Structure 1
Amino acid sequence: LAVALSFFQEAFNFSFFYPVNRSAVVAKQLNFQTGVGESKDIILPDKSEITLNTNSFVQIRYTRDSRVINLLRGEIHINVAHDKARPLSVIAGDKVIQAVGTAFNVEVGEKQIELIVTDGKVLVAEQSSSQPSSLQKNGTNKLGKFLSNNSTAVSKGEKLDLSFKGKIAKHVEKVDPIDVAASLSWRKGSLIFRGESLADAMAEISRYTNIDFELSDDERLTRVQVAGMFKTGDVKGLLEVLNNNFNISYERISPDKIRLNYADPSASI
């Protein structure tokens, strides 16, 4: 008991005379990533909840005055913990998407950035040249400030497509709740299509597997529209559905490439 008390007293005296550096505790920098076909749920230091989709990479920096997430690759959905004094900013390309307490989805695609707001409202603005493009140790102060009221507002049930660089188009699109659910079905390990072209559907499916899908030079394939729910990464099940429901056969060109063909019904007679 005497030994235990001596340790307790020593620890108390140490913390009393050498208080913990508060800023060292508040400031955090974290990196998270997922592989192809993988998703990950993360609780952030402020209790915000973030889900990373397949093949995604984020850099996160929290300080006393700011919450900054740099989406360098892939797609995230985030439920932002409410904090009026400390906005949360997501950087994608040269755009800043900011909220104080809401939920939204951001996808960095090959040609553009897609923003869908699932709850509340966010503001979107261009990142000025004076702001850092990456998260450096002291590089989040300006991003911690609130965006101006001149920023583009996007509310629940709305979508905004953004270019990687340049002016923000003011056209905000209303999205049907069913379409929002389909766009975010990846969070439950599924992909829902509601009449997308075969090419677009296969491009989305290929994000979750290391296999590339190639469409043969057949005009009939361009007219195929895909509707249904598919499990992410289930290539075998997908090919069976395409064959049974859409009359599409396949041939494996290489271990990581599959070519889709329009099957000739007369061939089986």
Structure 2
Amino acid sequence: MAPTERDFAPELADALVSWRDRGRLSNEEVRSLRARRRRVTTGATAGVVALVALFGLPRAWLGPAPDRIASLRTGRGETRAVRLPDGTRLRLDGATQLTVRYGKTARDVTLADGAAFFDVAHDPARPFTVRAGDGKVRVLGTAFDIDRTVGRMDVAVYRGAVRVAGTDDTYSERVPAGWRGHVVRGHVGPAVRFDARADDRRQGWLDVDGLRLGDLVAILNRQSGPIVQSPPAGLADLPISGRFRIDDAPSLLRSLGMTYGFVVKKTDSTLILSPE
């Protein structure tokens, strides 16, 4: 069954109508022409307007359709699934904000904060690009996850392949399924393998390889539960590796503290990290 506007986020319903109907007039344009027809007094002119209202003008006569833009966001501890007009599916993590721009020759997403999973519909005529801070991912049709933290973008590819680039590099890297790429401070880093079949962020799991403790804290603060205070500079840069559940920040941080040499203190609803 063909999807209807109800299948899509309200912010993007008009985009579906625009792309599906770009060869004929919109309802608003038809109503406008009918209003003009009523104001016409000469029979000949009224007849022309009536024919236009009945059969519709070619879209080319009206100029190119404008880009369609929608902003999507989630609160802390909230997730949101969205289906875009072309069949692309998004799943926003907590405390995530992104903007979707649909144009005639391109599909662009800007991830301002947070993380999202993308299952992109194949459309060679309109490449799909995600920008996140100093990093950029370009695809035609694939499934991948992007996480943006301060100065860093991580992308894990589950199907197909993406091309990862940084704003400060002329170099870009192709990252296939089962590999994770990243951009740090505008520079592309080497990709590493991961198990694309294992449970991931969508099921409450996180795989990291050399992620700063400060960035892990930012990811934990998107979830529900106590707020974790940003660690001091020396501790924030501590590289963390492993596979963890992220739905219980106190237990995770206490476990990591025993391994990496820091302690966790709780005051009211806040967790504070400090060196041993």
User: What TM-score, normalized by structure 2, do the two folds share?
Assistant: 0.61
- What runs of 5+ residues in structure 2 fail to find an aligned partner? 1-33, 35-46, 232-237
Q: Tell me the equivalent position of 2:17.
A: none
Superposition deviation, residue 193 in structure 1: 7.3
The correspondence of residues 214-225 of structure 1 with structure 2, limited to 5 A, is: none
- The one-letter code matched in structure 1 to 2:183 is L
Query: What is the RMSD of the two structures over their aligned residues, measured on CA atoms?
Result: 4.4
Superposition deviation, residue 44 in structure 1: 1.2
Q: Tell me the equivalent position of 2:116.
A: 76
1:113 is matched with which residue: 150, 153, 160?
153
Supply the distance in 2 between the matched residues of 1:37 and 1:48 (Cα, whole angstroms).
23
Instruction: Label 1:215 to 1:38 Cα distance change in 2 as closer, same or farther (>3 A).
Output: closer
Superposition deviation, residue 228 in structure 1: 6.6
SS at match of 2:85: coil
Supply the distance in 1 between the matched residues of 2:177 and 2:221 (Cα, whole angstroms).
29
Supply the distance in 2 between the matched residues of 1:13 and 1:158 (Cα, whole angstroms).
55
CA contact (8 A) 1:36 1:210 kept: no
Q: CA deviation digits over 1:73-109, x for unaligned, max 9?
A: 1111101100112110111123221010111111001
Higher RCO (C-alpha 8 Å, min separation 6): 1
Q: Does 1:191 align with 2:231?
A: no
Q: Tell me the equivalent position of 1:53.
A: 93
2:55 is matched with which residue: 2, 11, 16?
16
Q: Does 1:257 align with 2:270?
A: yes
CA contact (8 A) 1:193 1:201 kept: no
- The one-letter code matched in structure 2 to 1:16 is F
Q: Tell me the equivalent position of 1:205.
A: 220
CA contact (8 A) 2:158 2:196 kept: no
SS at match of 1:23: coil
Superposition deviation, residue 115 in structure 1: 1.0
SS at match of 2:55: helix
Superposition deviation, residue 27 in structure 1: 2.5
1:40 is matched with which residue: 53, 71, 80?
80
Fraction of identical pairs, as percent: 22
The correspondence of residues 130-141 of structure 1 with structure 2, limited to 5 A, is: none
The correspondence of residues 167-182 of structure 1 with structure 2, limited to 5 A, is: 167-169=187-189, 171-177=190-196, 181-182=198-199
Instruction: Label 1:91 to 1:205 Cα distance change in 2 as closer, same or farther (>3 A).
Output: closer
- What runs of 5+ residues in structure 1 fail to find an aligned partner? 1-6, 130-147, 217-221, 262-269
